[in-house]
Amino acid sequence: MGDKQGFRFHGGRPSVNFTATVGMRWRDGGFERLTDPAALGRWCTEAGLTPADPACSAADLAAARELREAVYRLLRTQLGDDPAQAEDIATVNRWAAHPPPVSALHLTPAGLRARPVPATVPSLLGLIAADAVAVLGGDEAARLRECANPECSLLFLDTSRAGARRWCSMSACGSREKMQRYRSAVR
């Protein structure tokens, strides 16, 4: 798995990180990181939403991408883009109403124990959408930023006290800019 294929988790919240499964959005269509249903399952696990990759169908992947783009467009409204569309709000609300992953009781020799029921993709999309509702509808929305690297385009919540964070990741985009400034200074 190349670096480009790796998922990005610099957004500060699952719903913001989910929009980072498209990279380089300044390119037409961007760079799709959820290339197949299995990639969606891997993302859910790497995002910490579930302990094991859920089984994903092609329909799950299509639904996930639809939710992701609705969340992305709504996040962008915080950056001064077009006003929120009713259709996007409805998509997020529909998924946010979906029951989240659950646990079930098991009787073990040591007594009753709760164990997670293997998560379904719809239950995980419910988690992501509920997170989007909390982010977009709360005070944190004002903390939304786009990475200052024009080639990057990832969104993140700036939770720094000064509110002056510019990069999705200092080690990726931040250090790259420092290197470019250094090179042009040397020249």
Binding site for Zn ion (CB under 5 A): 147, 149, 152, 154, 168, 173
Tell me whether residue 50 or residue 149 sits nearer to Zn ion (CB atom). 149
Smallest distance from Zn ion to CB 145, Å: 10
Nearby residues of 177 by Cβ (< 8 Å), 6 or more positions away: 148, 149, 167
Structure token digits, residue 46 = 């790497």
Smallest distance from Zn ion to CB 28, Å: 19
Would you tell me how many other CB atoms lie within 10 Å of the CB of residue 155?
26
Distance CA 22, CA 7 (A): 9
Tell me whether residue 106 or residue 178 sits nearer to Zn ion (CB atom). 178
Smallest distance from Zn ion to CB 78, Å: 17
Tell me whether residue 45 or residue 169 sits nearer to Zn ion (CB atom). 169
Sign of CA dihedral 142, 29, 50, 91: positive
Tell me whether residue 19 or residue 123 sits nearer to Zn ion (CB atom). 19
Smallest distance from Zn ion to CB 72, Å: 15
Dihedral, CA atoms, 36, 37, 38, 42, nearest 10 degrees? 100
Tell me whether residue 56 or residue 168 sits nearer to Zn ion (CB atom). 168
> E strands along the chain, which residues?
22-23, 31-32, 103-108, 111-116, 144-146, 155-157
Sign of CA dihedral 35, 154, 73, 125: positive
Beta bridge partners of 31: 23
Smallest distance from Zn ion to CB 147, Å: 3
